[in-house]
Amino acid sequence: MKRFFQILLISAVSLICLNVHAQNYPIKPIKILLPLPAGGALEIFSRAVAEIASQQLGQAFVIEPHPGGNTIIATDLCTKAVPDGYTLCAITSSVSLNPYLYPKLPYNAVKDLQMITRGAVVKEALVINPSVPVSNLKELVAYSKDNAGKINFGSVGAGSLTHLAPEWIKRETKVDWVHIPYKPTPVQQ
């Protein structure tokens, strides 16, 4: 009798599992949320990736820029989206920096986001006007100390890597540079 109930239980569970099957994906357009304004490098890259993915998956990809808040707005939208694979988020290094800059983020990037691929690695460079008589960082630091408060540096925005790296150099070398945060290229036009 015990064996009969075991077989009956296994059969019942098997019948329940008949409705569970692999679903087709994707069956609707996929959104890619961008944390930066339209027209910049991240959008161009995302559109190129979306075009290839659309051809391979047979489904449209919609690029949605949500700039502002040092990428917090788009990242927050991404973490609050239904986790069904239809909302993706292209992120930048700011997702790693923001927890140190903003103690009360509306999300925890480590817990709330799952990386599916690395899209691109961007190298940063320190460049200077050729009229400044320096050819390396050591000479720039010496020149900066002799010209305190006269050296400006630009960045894509406060809190960005292009802002924080020169600020770190300032702190470590005790130079007096002035930060000029520029608006992203599309916003300037």
Q: For residue range 76-133, list pLDDT tens digits in order.
A: 999 999 999 999 999 988 898 899 989 899 999 999 999 988 888 888 888 999 999 9
Q: What is the pLDDT of residue 10?
A: 47
Q: Which structure tokens are listed for 34?
A: 């961008």
Q: Mean pLDDT, to the nearest integer, of 30-48?
A: 92
Q: How confident is the model at residue 13 (pLDDT cuts 50, 70, 90)?
A: very low
Q: How many CB atoms lie within 10 A of CB 88?
A: 19
In a domain? residue 15: no
pTM: 0.72
Say whether both 41 and 84 belong to one domain: yes
Q: How confident is the model at residue 158 (pLDDT cuts 50, 70, 90)?
A: confident
Say whether both 146 and 106 belong to one domain: no
Q: Could you tell me if 159 and 92 are in contact, meaning their C-beta atoms sit under 8 angstroms apart?
A: no
In a domain? residue 5: no
In a domain? residue 8: no
Q: What is the pLDDT of residue 161?
A: 85
- Cα distances from 70 to residues 36, 65, 99, 166, 182, in angstroms, run 8, 13, 11, 17, 13
Residue 41 clears pLDDT 70, i.e. is over it: yes
Can you give the CATH number for the domain in which 84 is found?
A: 3.40.190.150
Secondary structure of the chain in HEC code, one letter for each residue: CHHHHHHHHHHHHHHHHCCCCCCCCCCCCEEEEECCCCCCHHHHHHHHHHHHHHHHHCCCEEEEECCCHHHHHHHHHHHHCCCCCCEEECCCCHHHHHHHHCCCCCCCHHHHCCCCCCCCCCCCCCCCCCCCCCCCHHHHHHHHHHCCCCEEEEECCCCCHHHHHHHHHHHHHCCCEEEEECCCHHHHC
- Whole domain around residue 144: which residue ranges? 137-183
Q: What is the pLDDT of residue 185?
A: 60
Q: How confident is the model at residue 139 (pLDDT cuts 50, 70, 90)?
A: very high
Q: What is the pLDDT of residue 9?
A: 42
Share of the chain above pLDDT 70, in %: 85
Say whether both 45 and 108 belong to one domain: yes
Q: Which structure tokens are listed for 69?
A: 């808040």
Say whether both 81 and 142 belong to one domain: no
Say whether both 108 and 149 belong to one domain: no
Count of domains forming the chain: 2
Question: Which of 112, 128, 149 marks a domain boundary?
Answer: 112
Q: What is the pLDDT of residue 21?
A: 57
